[in-house]
Amino acid sequence: FLKPIDKINALMEMYPKGMAGFRRFCDLIDTEPDVKDAPDAIDVPSLRGDIEFRNVTFGYEPHTKVLRNVSLKIRAGETVALVGPSGAGKSTICSLIPRFYDVDEGEITIDGIPIKKMTQHSLRSKIGVVQQDVFLFNGTIRENIAYGKLGASEAEIMEAARRAHLEDMIRELPDGLDTVIGERGLKLSGGQRQRLAIARMFLKNPPILILDEATSALDTETERIIQQALEELAVNRTTIVIAHRLATIRGADRIFVVNGDGIAEEGRHEELLAQGGIYARLHRAQFGETLVT
Ligand code: ATP
């Protein structure tokens, strides 16, 4: 009887910290009562992941629009990188896809179906979000991974851990998957936390993935492993990355440059560099590379 209460207590302790990290995506569910299922909302059984914004205008406040008349298409299975200065609206675009907010004007569709016509539950079950600050609770590694799919089997959890390159670490622990993490257990490094979040996503297996790439420095080897795990995770999924790393940006099928109130430029890395516009300037400022590649 006491064990669950202890867990709830631990969760309550973790809550403010976890929520700070999840603020942009998850906190919104509670603070936005305006987002409601339509009376005739449909439970979408599956989605391919063709995403389209049609003339979307959106602001958190009625008189301050963050996005104006934004139109974009992301094809199923494609990996796109959102780049742009701080405050440009990259996270906002990502928050609109799981419908954490409703658009003021225009429409967002997935596979041609307006997201407003889907139940929020069925829509969000098709979208995985990997944030910079991973929300972990004070339970076992098993429980933290299984958070991606409640009721997952041992084999599924181990497979997800393997694909996220966590298997070796788990094998070396005396309690393996049952090792408690958090306040009273194993302390995980930043890289391990990210891999745990990736394991959750392999388990959840959503057709659409939103990645908010970490800005914090990791050692080169850890970064390589995480990059590799993320690339594997992105295979056969529509992936939208708020990108900070040059390797991600270069590897993307397309880059959207978010600036001011919308998409200023769109194309592949080389194309955008050749244009000599905003992307080329941003790229030079961020990575210090010359325009000639
Ligand atoms: P960064 O790279 O710094 O994360 P970003 O490009 O993701 O920035 P957004 O977080 O989408 O930008 O923010 C776009 C604008 O919307 C900013 O002016 C920001 O202050 C504002 N904004 C973001 N979230 C909220 C919110 N929950 N309520 C009110 N305004 C918000």
pTM, two decimal places: 0.84
| CA separation for the pair 5, 63 (Å, rounded) | 45
Cα(209) to centroid(ligand 1), Å: 20
Calculate the alpha carbon distances from 47 to 106, 147, 235, 238 in Å. Answer: 21, 22, 15, 10
Six-digit token pair at 7? 């867990």
Spatial CA neighbour of 130 closest among 16, 213, 188, 71: 213
Cα(89) to centroid(ligand 1), Å: 6
The predicted structure's pLDDT at residue 293: 37
Ligand 1, atom 28, lies closest to the CA of: 60
Six-digit token pair at 292? 């000639």
For a mutational test of ligand 1's pocket, the pick from 67, 90, 100, i.e. the residue with the most ligand atoms closer than 8 A to its C-beta, is 90
Atom of ligand 1 nearest to the CA of 82: 6
Contact in structure between 90 and 244 (CB atoms under 8 Å): no
Atom of ligand 1 nearest to the CA of 60: 29
156 alpha carbon, distance to own chain's centre:
21
Is the backbone of residue 270 left (phi > 0), alpha (psi -120 to 50) or beta?
alpha
The predicted structure's pLDDT at residue 16: 56
pLDDT tens digits, 266-277: 999 999 999 999
- In the predicted model, residues of the chain with pLDDT beneath 70 are 1-33, 183-185, 217, 289-293
Cα(87) to centroid(ligand 1), Å: 5
Atom of ligand 1 nearest to the CA of 88: 6
Which protein residues are within 6 Å of ligand 1, measured from CB?
60, 66, 84, 86-92, 258
Calculate the alpha carbon distances from 196 to 108, 155, 160, 161 in Å. Answer: 31, 16, 9, 7
Spatial CA neighbour of 128 closest among 61, 249, 212, 225: 212
The predicted structure's pLDDT at residue 260: 79
Spatial CA neighbour of 24 closest among 110, 135, 120: 135
The predicted complex's ipTM stands at 0.97
Contact in structure between 136 and 188 (CB atoms under 8 Å): yes
Ligand 1, atom 29, lies closest to the CA of: 60
Question: Please, what's the b/e burial string for 16-38 (b: 16 or more CB within 10 A of its CB; e: otherwise)?
Answer: eebeebbebbbebeeeeeeeebe
The predicted structure's pLDDT at residue 292: 42
